[in-house]
Structure 1
């Protein structure tokens, strides 16, 4: 398996660029990362933002670690973005991703991604409003792709999420989005599928399996988030925790589907109260488990 780390585990803990790069390379023996916007906010003033983001990218390069993509984190996920109920909010969502693309370009990282967006509670249950807002969002995203191309990015990624008020949530929704964007965008748009989201039983029932996602939209999946889950909530536990997924399951999936270019990014979200030493030792134990599978 090609293993990497989403840097979510480091948020509010290891903020110094050289320290974080060394921790990833040496303590966690990892060579691929996905940079999270929880470390550098796309909305920060451009000059300071880009200098900070570039410092991370340069530190990782010196440590022999490749930043494969940048991705929205918990802070970004709090907002509805281009599926929001008003034009003003949707435009702010557009600006958010445009600014993140600019930051990613400053890092010389080729891929940026985030969830597509979320409907309001009322719009989510109104089929007419969903269709109207979705069509507008597609047009917005095509425009964003032009900006990504102009800034030198090679791909945009969308992460499906396990909420019916968002889009895409199901594998069928994800396939629809890929088909609706295919040929319309200036850079390819692909999926970053999270194992914990795909296995969310309350929403997906019998289809809450990664095999279902591979059958429906596997050809569009460019990367994966891996996490331990119980299938009842979006847990983002580590693999030192009991749950539905084992490292052996991940390895068997990789081999069965003959994956090669994708990366399994471990995405763990710890309670802020967890001691730093506990987080680091838990991450080391989990990476050892994954590498041994």
Structure 2
């Protein structure tokens, strides 16, 4: 398996670039990194934002790490972005990703992405409004992909989420979005599927498994988030805890689908009140449970 780590665990804790790079390399034994926008907000003034983001990218490279992509985090996920109910909010959502593309380009990282967006409560239950807003959102992403190409990026990611008020949530939604955009964007737009989202049984029922996602839209999945889960909530637990997933399940999946380059990024979200000592110990134990150091 090809294993990496999303830097969500470091937010509000390990902010010094060189120290964070050393922690990832020496304590976690990880080579592949997905940088979270929670460390440098795309909306910050561009000069200061890019200077800070580039410092992280340089420190990671100097430590022998490979930053494969940047990705939206908790702060970004708060907003409705391109599926918002009015034009001003949708324009700001588009600008949000545009700025993230600019930041990613400054870091010399080839890809970025985020969840697509959220409908308002009223729009979510109105089929006509959903389609109207979705069409506008897809047009926005075509333009954003053109900006990504001009900026030197190679790919944009969309992460499906386990909420029916958002899009895409189901595997069928993911396939529909990919087919809608396929051939229309100047860089590929692909799915980044989170195992904990895909296995959310209260929403997906018997389809709450990754085999269903692979059969439905597997050709469009370019990367994954992995997290420990019980299938009942979006847990984002580490693999130091028991749940439905383990190294064996992930390895079997990798082999059965003959995956090659689709990195499994461990994405764990800790309570802010957890101590730094606990988080670091839990991360080390989780990476050991995945046997990251021996992963291909």
Taking structure 1 as the reference length, the TM-score comes to 0.99
Matches within 5 A, 1:64-213: 64-213=64-213
1:192 deviates by 0.4
Structure 2: distance between partners of 1:77 and 1:225: 15
Structure 2: distance between partners of 1:273 and 1:81: 29
Q: Does 1:25 align with 2:21?
A: no
- Alignment deviations for residues 116-148 of structure 1 (CA, whole Å, 9 cap, x no partner): 111000000001100100011111110111100
Judge which range, 239-248 or 135-144, deviates more.
Answer: 239-248
Structure 2: distance between partners of 1:122 and 1:231: 27
**Structure 2: gaps of 5 or more residues:** none
Residue 240 (structure 1) aligns with: 240
- Alignment deviations for residues 177-220 of structure 1 (CA, whole Å, 9 cap, x no partner): 00000011010011100000000001100000000000001111
Residue 281 (structure 1) aligns with: 281
Q: What RMSD, in angstroms, separates the aligned Cα atoms of the two structures?
A: 0.8
Structure 2: distance between partners of 1:288 and 1:248: 13
- Alignment deviations for residues 21-49 of structure 1 (CA, whole Å, 9 cap, x no partner): 01001111110000000000000000000
1:242 deviates by 1.4
- Alignment deviations for residues 66-111 of structure 1 (CA, whole Å, 9 cap, x no partner): 0000000000000000000000000000000000000000000000
Matches within 5 A, 1:244-255: 244-255=244-255
Structure 2: distance between partners of 1:136 and 1:189: 16
Residue 225 (structure 2) aligns with: 225
Structure 2: distance between partners of 1:255 and 1:40: 36
Structure 1: distance between partners of 2:139 and 2:3: 34
Residue 35 (structure 1) aligns with: 35
User: 4+ residue runs of structure 1 moved beyond 3 angstroms?
Assistant: none
Residue 50 (structure 2) aligns with: 50
SS of 1:252 mapped into structure 2: helix
Structure 2: distance between partners of 1:228 and 1:269: 11
* Number of positions where the alignment pairs a residue of Structure 1 with one of Structure 2: 293
